[in-house]
Structure 1
Amino acid sequence: MFSEKIRQLRKDRHLTQAEVAKEVGLSARGYQDLELGAKPRYDALLHIADFYGVSADWLMGRTDNPAVNR
């Protein structure tokens, strides 16, 4: 679920894995591993959610609402 969501978010924005990895502070391989199903560290999850402007709960499948509550 997480891997599918981040892959789709990236593709919707026409970004490469390397571009996203750089923005969220991961290696290109580390980001690729996440898209292939690896579980994210908590800090990486938060950076990715912030980068895409969605909630971490939505990325992890805990809610159907991608909006960030601030």
Structure 2
Amino acid sequence: MDYFKRIRELREDNDYKQREIAKLLNVGQRTYADYEYNKTRIPIGSMIILAKFYNVDMNYICGISDVKNTFPI
């Protein structure tokens, strides 16, 4: 699974709107939508914020692993 599918899946599974996650990342809703639709690459810093927010490790959020390990502290 590609990261853009995974970030959408995480958002929807946790009942968040795109605008809420966009605010967390300090970007506009349209920019965040572009991340989910793979129109714009998401910056690594934003990926880390999302991994911490959803408490999943980077391998999961990047689509490398299907195992939801917690974000390492």
Q: TM-score, normalised by structure 2?
A: 0.79
Aligned-partner residue type, residue 64 of structure 1: D
Give unmatched runs, 5+ long, in structure 2. Answer: none
8 A contact 1:24–1:51 mirrored in 2: no
8 A contact 1:23–1:51 mirrored in 2: no
The equivalent residue for 2:25 is 24
Residues 1-70 of structure 1: pairs in structure 2 closer than 5 A: 1-37=2-38, 38-67=40-69, 68-70=71-73
Percentage of identical aligned residues: 27
How big is each residue's C-alpha offset from its partner over 1:3-35, in whole Å with a ceiling of 9 and x where there is no partner? 111111111111110011112222212211110
Give unmatched runs, 5+ long, in structure 1. Answer: none
Q: After TM superposition, where is structure 1 displaced by more than 6 Å over at least 4 residues in a row?
A: none
